[in-house]
Amino acid sequence: MLLSLDSSVSALDQFQEALNVIGNNIANVNTVGFKSSTSDFADTFSQTMGSNATGPMQVGTGVMTSSISNDFTQGSITSTGVPTDMAINQNGFFMVKDPTTGAEYATRDGEFSVDNSGYLVTSAGMRVQGYTDAGLTTLGDIQINNTGAPNGDTSAVSSYSFSTDGTVSVQLDDGTQFTRGQILLQNFSEPSQLTKEGGNLYSGTTAAGALANPSVAGTQGLGSIVTGSLEMSNVDLASQLTGLITTQRAYEANTKVVTTSDEILQDLVNLKR
C-alpha cells in the first residue's frame, strides 16, 4: 500500500483531534477561570529505504499528537460587585474540597457563595479551604459564623468581608468585629501536570508539584486576591479562529492526498485488465 495513504489517514485523525481541542476552547470563551489548551504534533516512525553518501534515505509514515497542553496564562479580571466573587491576580489557585468524598481540587474559578450552613462554596458545593479559626492556625473548610468571636459573643453575623490576602472579617449584630479565618492559595511548580476534572476543577496536585501547604496570598510567589471580581477565560478568540482555519485547510489538503492515492491504487488494479 502507498505510504502516502497511511500518512494522510494519520493526519486526518490528528487534525480531527486538533479541531476537537480548538472547538472546546471556543466553546469555553466565556467560562470563568477556563484555561485554553493547545495540541502539538510530532512525526511518527520513518521507514529507511537505504542510504547514500549523504546519509540514510527515509520516508515518514505520518504524524501523531505529541501533547495537549494547558495554557495557564492569566485571563482578564472583570469586576462583578459580588462580595463573594474572587479572582487571583497572577500566580496561584484556590483549593476546594468535596464535602462528600473529601477529595481536594485546585481551581481558578472564584465564583463563590455562602451556603445555608455558612460555608464558602463553589457553584457545585465544593468548600473553599484555608484557616478556619481566628488564630489562623487550623486548616479546613472556610465557614462564616460567630465561632471564635471575642468573649464568646453569640450575636448573629450581620456582615462579612474579604481582604486581598484572603482574611475573612466578620461583623456581628452588636458591632463586634473579628477575624474568622483566611482563604489560602496553592501554587505548583509544574501546573502542566494538573488534570482537568470538569467544573473548572483540577486534580493531580501532587504530580504538579504543589507547595507543602497552601499559603497566604502575596507570599511564596503567590498573587493577590481581587474581591468582587472574577477571572475570565484566557481563550484568545482571534487566534483560535485562525487556528481553526489553518487546521481545516490542512485537513482538506490531506483528504486530497487520500483521494490521489486512491486513484493511483485504482490505476494499478486496472493494469490487470
List of residues 6+ apart from 98 with CB closer than 8 A: 104, 105, 126
Which is more confidently placed, 6 or 25? 25
For the beta carbon of residue 47, count every other beta carbon within 10 angstroms: 11
- The dihedrals phi and psi of 270, each to the nearest 5 degrees, come to -70, -15
Name residue, grid cell 503567590: 222
Q: Given this model, what pLDDT does residue 272 score? A: 66
% of the chain residues with pLDDT over 90: 82
Dist CA 252 CA 91 (whole Å) = 40
User: Which amino acid is it at 43?
Assistant: D
3-state secondary structure of 222: coil
Listed residue (181, 56, 33, 176) closest to 108, CA to CA: 33
Helix (H) or strand (E) holding 19: helix 3-27
Q: Given this model, what pLDDT does residue 269 score? A: 82
Mean pLDDT of the chain: 93
Instruction: Using the predicted structure, report yes or no on whether residue 255 has a pLDDT greater than 70.
Output: yes
C-alpha cell at 24: 472546546
Alpha helices in 45-187 (DSSP H): none
% of the chain residues with pLDDT over 70: 99
Which is more confidently placed, 122 or 48? 122
Dist CA 87 CA 230 (whole Å) = 5
Q: Given this model, what pLDDT does residue 5 score? A: 83
Read off the pLDDT of residues 49-79 as tens digits, 9 standing for 90 and up: 888 878 888 888 889 999 999 999 999 999 9
Supply the angle between the helices 237-270 and 3-27 in degrees, to the nearest 10: 160
Q: How confident is the model at residue 1 (pLDDT cuts 50, 70, 90)?
A: low
